[in-house]
Structure 1
Amino acid sequence: MGRAEDRRARQRGGRRAAPRRSPGRPAGGNGPAAGGRAAARRAARPEKSVLRRLFTWRKLLGAFFALCLLGIGAFVVLYLAVDIPKGNADATRQSNVYRYSDGKILARSGEINRELVDLSKVPKEVQNCFVAAENKTFYTDSGVDLKGIARGLLNTVTGRGTQGGSTITQQYVKNFYLNQDRTVTRKVKELVISLKVDRKMTKEEILAGYINTSYYGRGAYGIQAAARAYYRVDAKDLTVEQGAYLAALMQAPSQYDWAVASDNGKELVKNRWNYVLDNMVEQKWLDPAERRTMKFPVPKEPQPTPGQEGQKGYLIALANRQLAEQLMKEQGLTRAEAERAVEAQGWNVTLNIDSKKQAALEKAVETELTSKLDPDKRKVDGHVQAGAVSVDVKTGKIVALYGGEDYFKHWLSNATRRDYQPASTFKPLILAAALEHDAKTQDGQPITASTIYDGTSGRQVVDHGTKVGFGPPNEDKVNYGPITVQKAMNQSVNSVFAQMGVDVGMTRVMDTAKQLGMDTKGMQAVPAQTLGSMGASPLEMAGIYATLANHGKKVTPSIVKSAEQRGRTIEMPDPIGEQVISRQAADTVTSVLTGVVDDGTAQRSVRDNPLRRGQQVAGKTGTSDENKSAWFVGYTPKLATAVGLFGEDVKQNGKHVPLYGALGVPRVNGGGFPAQIWARYTFNVMGEISTFDLDTKQGDAVQPSQTPSGSESPSETPSETPTTSEPPVSETPSSTPPSQTPSQTPSQTPSQTPSSTPPSQTPADDVPDDPVDPGNQ
């Protein structure tokens, strides 16, 4: 009976029945002693805490199931309550209006470029390109990606940025029924509507809707408009290669548009193009052998829409880009979503562009450059491209911009392109890094404007006694011998700044460049960068020099003054940021750069310009390797402007070509046409004469250099005229150390200006008779 009782006890709750008591026997079985022991055991047991009594595992499990039921119930109610809305893809499309800073209308964005096509008119292989790119399980899924939605909701709530990866059905719903906002409400609606659409429509109908409502860039909505915009064919005639490019393009239309993409953008879109085709092979939609023979289909040049002729298209493109970037930051949109949210969405955008300054810049380029070009007489003249950006130093506003001859003729903006070397306009950033970090020469002397370096052309750069394998020639291979930093900046002496870069440390140099506003992503911190061998745009360089003019407070040039859409206003970031280098460092660089104008490579074009009227100016010339670009970047206390000329053969897909012989000169130098454009524009719009308020005791602005003559030249300065002999291959002779202590600087700053101008040079522009490679001046 004992085992039976035990089973019954377990069935009743796991407690075994107490044994029956014999008649006359006390409860407990062992008398008073047993009762005492039981009481002691009960007293020894710890009391359950309040939390343990409130949150038992049974209660927690019950609460979890209750929440699940509540969530399911809420979703059922939501599913029943939310209907598929009417499509809004056409209803919300409105022209954007763009205005100058004074409110005058600049342009309207024009009509929407859209033409719907039946899916049957799109080759099946091209259809598969979009599925392979965006949603390989499209034909079998339920229209939603629950994991992706959960990630997106979490990122939205926690503010952790954008989240793509939704299904084709979800993207179609977002494009056609909803909007690009990233809110929890919109995401929940997207989920419900996507489930309903997947049940109501066939996969073919959904795919057709998706490719007909998506934005492809170039103002093209839908695959037919995209096929015409990029390949000048109808959608029915697209090849698999072309379809794969259009499918890849949708991830970031402007970034991946081959006509305007940076080198990095081109690499990214090629990678995505390969990804699409490889996915098609994986899904058995494309034969592997055929895949191996496919080549990237370079798109045709864009055809701008009416109303964007002249400079208007360049201004609108930059305004749209900056507005889209702000929407990405503010609303967490992906780039593709942000671009779609800007294009033809009824925005009223006021630019910072000053209509009078804009007209003056255009006139300066026309007067000093384009009116002098004669491609029929000189073939190279047809390869000259100009770009310029002018920025208000105190506000960071872009007040004028020149993107090219005409937006209809040259789609890529020369003002924002980053594929040409800034050359010697980078040298001031090396000096800024030296001053900011209190850098010293190889022999331990502080680097200042009066520090003496060895200016021998081709001198091998030394790092604590070890040659680094880099010895750049100076322009025309001129040997300057001992020369101050000030004079080296004036004459743009490569050998001095190559050594200075190593003295400072190239990592520090590149860090300072980044702080000042240069996009250094992917750039190596190597001595060759001292020649400005990286890529940079006039927009970028104008911002960097504006930061120097603004005493080291960061200036990020902005073209958008305000942006409004149906009652809402987008707050654009303040173009003026924090102090990125010390005022003293920035002001010292400014002081030194006044010497480039007054006693250096920009003398004739800027210093002696009759329009100057005593205006104080700081600036730097630059001429890149093989004369493929020439620059002048300069500033007054109020205005910073960068002007660049670029050699580009547009008939060879934008191939970089030299400018030797253009406009009838042996070599196009920064002190020539770029400086002339800069001077005509700046001196015509500058207003009252102003001077720099500098916190420094260094440089030509506060200690103008003197040009000694004859026997007045200090002994450290070579008496003979600089030569153009071949540069030495050995290290600097022991009598001329890499740098000398400032105490060795003579009472008069040594001048390297020869008593007579060498026959190979023109005093103003350093233009040689023989177009020898300038070596990044």
Structure 2
Amino acid sequence: MRRIVGSARRGRPGGRRFVDYPRSGRKGVRRWLPSWRQWLSACLLGGGGLAGLFTYVYVTVDIPDENDAASREANVYYWSDGTQMVSIGDVNRQIVELKDVPKSVRNAVIAAENATFYSDSGVSPQGLGRALVNMVKGQETQGGSTITQQYVKNTYLSQDQTVTRKVKEFVISLKVDQRKTKDEILQGYLNSSWFGRGAYGVEAAAHAYYGIPARELNASQGALLAALLKGAEMYDPSTSAANHRRAKARWAWILDRQVAVGRMSAKERARYKEFPEPLKESRSTSLSGHYGQTGYLVDVATKYVRQRTGLTDKDLALGGYEIHTTFDKRRVLQLARSVKGVLSRDLDPKRRAQDKGVQVGAASVRTRDGAVLALYGGADATRHFSNNADTTGVPAGSTFKPFVLASALQDGMRPDEKGPGGMTPVEALVEGGNATYQKLGAEVGQRRVRDVAVGAGMLEQSMARTDKSFPLGTSTPSAVRLASAYGTFARDGLQHDPYSVTSVTKDGEPVEGLEPARTRRALDARVAHQVDAALRDVAVDTVGRVVSKTGRPVAAGRTSDQDRFRASWFIGYTPEVSTSVTLFRMRPRDPLLQPLSGVGGSKSRHGNALTERIWRDALSGVDLAPGGKSKVGSPKAAALGDR
């Protein structure tokens, strides 16, 4: 009876259980130790379960769409010499093709991050295992990822450090490795990785650390950039002495590692003994670089691109555009230094109330084709948002008179004809002669004067209404447009619209619409020469005999002491470059220009002396001959002399 009851209790004939655990016939600890068959069964069952789970995950997890942030790029603006000026956008990234990354740089990254990249399956099971263990310990799940896994994390997944994300990374990496070539994966990795200094991708990193495009990196520089992939906050050598030590040690290890894995010869390795010190961190080429004059340059270039190509703000916000400008970095810096130097030397807003609120705008335009070489838009684009070089609202005053003279000469007037007061128009241009030009404008016809001014390059919308004051300069052209229009006199009457962008590309493809504007004849060559000669007399009268590096005199126009407009202008040109400078005063939140009387002291001539000094200082280093003689002796004395 007991045997029958026992058999029923065990549930199987003969008294044997389906799972003999705890083990019958064993005592003590051995009763609780599984047999080898039980161990094997458990392993097979667990392995089968894991295999089934992996199969399920592999089938259900597909390659997702790329993260928007992974493909988002900045718009990069370049100086006229091709060097990077600034990168503008939410993400400082410029995507490049793998062929544009030197092989030595690729080798450094592979040796440092994943030596078996070209032969592995795209995943590291050991790395996944370590990540899971770290998760259980409450530590970070990072560790041991292949280049493919890092690319997947950058491109397809969030940056959350969870087991779910790590498993997805593993599965997606297997699929990506099957569907993409190794070169495609490496290219994506190099374009999506974080290098510090606000730089995503190797191209942005090359500019941020060495001021060059990625294609110009050498093997030593590439090794340092590869070191940054381990953590830029720990390996940017310019951040601290400790970082410098870490960066130098890892740089050397990466070079040695390349030899060890066969990606560099020992002979080549021996060439790299000196650590490739990067540039000090500069925000001028990063996301925060929209400051100083750079903001004004970007403003002018972007506006030109929108006008000529049809690209909208929404298009540009998507990023990825490379915008090559006409701006000459040397001239831009010289112009800014000149303005700052003159204003700091000659203004004293703490002592003189008249010196408060003074604004300056300036622009340099190449006469042969209208390229805008430099401009000064204000003290700082982040604090003063209006671009003084490219805005209307400042009356031209006597600088408008050459267009009145040109219209009269174009209609057959002789330059030596006497006008009111016994002066010729040329003499009146030098002396001021408002009455002469007021009558001359009436005789020629104000509509005719207006057409000549617009034909020379000024914008129709900047022209004032035609009345008796119109010939005296009530119109309000920008500094860019006025410099360009004066260039028409320098180029025998040929007119070129000003332009600031030479080309725009995206993904290597050019954007259409940026072909240079056609050259137009605005004035007869005879007329242009006569006006040019008159303006050379103005230059002699104002700043003495100044000659360009080619030996030809400089021509100039300027506002006079007779002008009652609240603005001061000086425009001078060499045969190659025309530069205009304007000065005016404004109060905060008041759109009206303020009087210039007393600005800069009693000898500033209502600010006219200041614009002349800025022009002379800006041009002396780049256009004028160092030994140019003046009426009052040295060039410096001529530039600073008061009349």
TM-score (norm: length of structure 2):
0.54
SS in 1 for 2:423: strand
| C-alpha deviation, 1:614, in angstroms | 6.2
Q: Deviations over 1:268-304 (max 9, x none)?
A: xxxxxxxxxxxxxxxxxxxxxxxxxxxxxxxxxxxx9
SS in 2 for 1:672: helix
SS in 2 for 1:411: coil
* Aligned match for 1:312, one of 260, 271, 294: 294
Query: Is the CA contact (8 Å cut-off) linking 1:362 and 1:402 kept in structure 2?
Result: yes
Question: How far, CA to CA, are the matches of 1:564 and 1:371 in structure 2?
Answer: 43
Query: Is the CA contact (8 Å cut-off) linking 1:637 and 1:690 kept in structure 2?
Result: no
Query: Is the CA contact (8 Å cut-off) linking 1:659 and 1:667 kept in structure 2?
Result: no
Structure 2 counterpart of 1:375: 349
Note closer, same or farther for the CA distance 1:345–1:765 as it changes in structure 2 (3 Å cut). Answer: same
| C-alpha deviation, 1:499, in angstroms | 0.5
Query: Is the CA contact (8 Å cut-off) linking 2:548 and 2:623 kept in structure 1?
Result: no
SS in 2 for 1:420: coil
Structure 2 counterpart of 1:77: none
Structure 2 counterpart of 1:701: none
Structure 2 counterpart of 1:628: 566
| C-alpha deviation, 1:626, in angstroms | 4.4
Structure 2 counterpart of 1:408: 382
| C-alpha deviation, 1:546, in angstroms | 1.0
Structure 1 counterpart of 2:451: 511
* Aligned match for 1:95, one of 74, 78, 90: 74
| C-alpha deviation, 1:644, in angstroms | 0.5
SS in 1 for 2:296: helix
SS in 2 for 1:663: coil
| C-alpha deviation, 1:484, in angstroms | 1.6
Note closer, same or farther for the CA distance 1:402–1:508 as it changes in structure 2 (3 Å cut). Answer: same
* Aligned match for 2:358, one of 384, 388, 392: 384
Query: Is the CA contact (8 Å cut-off) linking 1:626 and 1:658 kept in structure 2?
Result: no
Q: Deviations over 1:550-598 (max 9, x none)?
A: 1111121111122111222124131552112111111111011111112
User: Amino acid of the residue matched to residue 354 of structure 2?
Assistant: V
Q: Any stretches of 5+ residues in structure 1 without a counterpart?
A: 1-84, 114-303, 329-336, 439-446, 455-480, 692-762, 767-777
Question: How far, CA to CA, are the matches of 1:575 and 1:680 in structure 2?
Answer: 31
Query: Is the CA contact (8 Å cut-off) linking 1:380 and 1:659 kept in structure 2?
Result: yes
SS in 1 for 2:569: strand
Q: Percent of aligned pairs with the same residue?
A: 29
* Aligned match for 1:108, one of 87, 92, 99: 87
User: Amino acid of the residue matched to residue 678 of structure 1?
Assistant: W
Structure 1 counterpart of 2:615: 678
Question: How far, CA to CA, are the matches of 2:614 and 2:532 in structure 1?
Answer: 21
Question: How far, CA to CA, are the matches of 1:112 and 1:531 in structure 2?
Answer: 50
Note closer, same or farther for the CA distance 1:589–1:86 as it changes in structure 2 (3 Å cut). Answer: farther
Query: Is the CA contact (8 Å cut-off) linking 1:93 and 1:345 kept in structure 2?
Result: yes
Question: How far, CA to CA, are the matches of 2:627 and 2:471 in structure 1?
Answer: 32
Question: How far, CA to CA, are the matches of 1:326 and 1:341 in structure 2?
Answer: 14
1:498 aligns with 2:438: yes
| C-alpha deviation, 1:396, in angstroms | 1.6
1:648 aligns with 2:598: no
Note closer, same or farther for the CA distance 1:397–1:612 as it changes in structure 2 (3 Å cut). Answer: closer
SS in 1 for 2:571: strand
Query: Is the CA contact (8 Å cut-off) linking 1:109 and 1:344 kept in structure 2?
Result: no
Note closer, same or farther for the CA distance 1:764–1:520 as it changes in structure 2 (3 Å cut). Answer: farther
Structure 1 counterpart of 2:60: none
* Aligned match for 2:523, one of 576, 581, 588: 581
Q: Deviations over 1:694-750 (max 9, x none)?
A: xxxxxxxxxxxxxxxxxxxxxxxxxxxxxxxxxxxxxxxxxxxxxxxxxxxxxxxxx
Structure 2 counterpart of 1:488: 428
Question: How far, CA to CA, are the matches of 1:610 and 1:590 in structure 2?
Answer: 14
Query: Is the CA contact (8 Å cut-off) linking 2:488 and 2:496 kept in structure 1?
Result: yes
Note closer, same or farther for the CA distance 1:690–1:93 as it changes in structure 2 (3 Å cut). Answer: farther
Question: How far, CA to CA, are the matches of 2:553 and 2:85 in structure 1?
Answer: 33
1:424 aligns with 2:365: no
| C-alpha deviation, 1:433, in angstroms | 0.8
Question: How far, CA to CA, are the matches of 1:660 and 1:99 in structure 2?
Answer: 41
Query: Is the CA contact (8 Å cut-off) linking 2:548 and 2:624 kept in structure 1?
Result: no
Structure 1 counterpart of 2:597: 660
| C-alpha deviation, 1:641, in angstroms | 0.5
Question: How far, CA to CA, are the matches of 1:504 and 1:305 in structure 2?
Answer: 53
* Aligned match for 2:506, one of 556, 559, 565: 565
SS in 1 for 2:74: coil
SS in 2 for 1:111: coil
User: Amino acid of the residue matched to residue 100 of structure 1?
Assistant: W
Equivalence map 1:456-467=2 (5 Å) = none
Kindly tell me the number of residue pairs found equivalent between the two proteins: 373
User: Amino acid of the residue matched to residue 295 of structure 2?
Assistant: G
Question: How far, CA to CA, are the matches of 1:420 and 1:615 in structure 2?
Answer: 31
| C-alpha deviation, 1:527, in angstroms | 2.6
Structure 1 counterpart of 2:323: 349
Query: Is the CA contact (8 Å cut-off) linking 2:464 and 2:476 kept in structure 1?
Result: no
Cα RMSD, aligned residues only: 3.1
Between 102-111 and 409-418, the greater mean CA deviation after superposition: 102-111
Note closer, same or farther for the CA distance 1:515–1:378 as it changes in structure 2 (3 Å cut). Answer: same
* Aligned match for 1:595, one of 496, 514, 537: 537
Q: Deviations over 1:23-52 (max 9, x none)?
A: xxxxxxxxxxxxxxxxxxxxxxxxxxxxxx
Note closer, same or farther for the CA distance 1:355–1:575 as it changes in structure 2 (3 Å cut). Answer: farther
TM-score (norm: length of structure 1):
0.45
Question: How far, CA to CA, are the matches of 1:529 and 1:415 in structure 2?
Answer: 22
Query: Is the CA contact (8 Å cut-off) linking 1:110 and 1:307 kept in structure 2?
Result: no
Query: Is the CA contact (8 Å cut-off) linking 2:535 and 2:556 kept in structure 1?
Result: yes
| C-alpha deviation, 1:398, in angstroms | 1.1
Structure 1 counterpart of 2:230: none
Equivalence map 1:543-562=2 (5 Å) = 543-562=484-503
| C-alpha deviation, 1:671, in angstroms | 4.4
Query: Is the CA contact (8 Å cut-off) linking 1:396 and 1:575 kept in structure 2?
Result: no
Question: How far, CA to CA, are the matches of 1:678 and 1:397 in structure 2?
Answer: 18
| C-alpha deviation, 1:643, in angstroms | 0.5
| C-alpha deviation, 1:680, in angstroms | 1.8
| C-alpha deviation, 1:372, in angstroms | 3.0
Question: How far, CA to CA, are the matches of 1:628 and 1:539 in structure 2?
Answer: 19
SS in 1 for 2:349: coil
Question: How far, CA to CA, are the matches of 2:340 and 2:443 in structure 1?
Answer: 43
| C-alpha deviation, 1:687, in angstroms | 6.2
Note closer, same or farther for the CA distance 1:631–1:612 as it changes in structure 2 (3 Å cut). Answer: farther
Structure 2 counterpart of 1:639: 577
Note closer, same or farther for the CA distance 1:88–1:679 as it changes in structure 2 (3 Å cut). Answer: same
User: Amino acid of the residue matched to residue 499 of structure 2?
Assistant: S
Q: Deviations over 1:624-659 (max 9, x none)?
A: 85452100011111110111001111x224432112
Query: Is the CA contact (8 Å cut-off) linking 2:604 and 2:642 kept in structure 1?
Result: no
| C-alpha deviation, 1:368, in angstroms | 2.1
Structure 1 counterpart of 2:219: none
User: Amino acid of the residue matched to residue 532 of structure 2?
Assistant: T
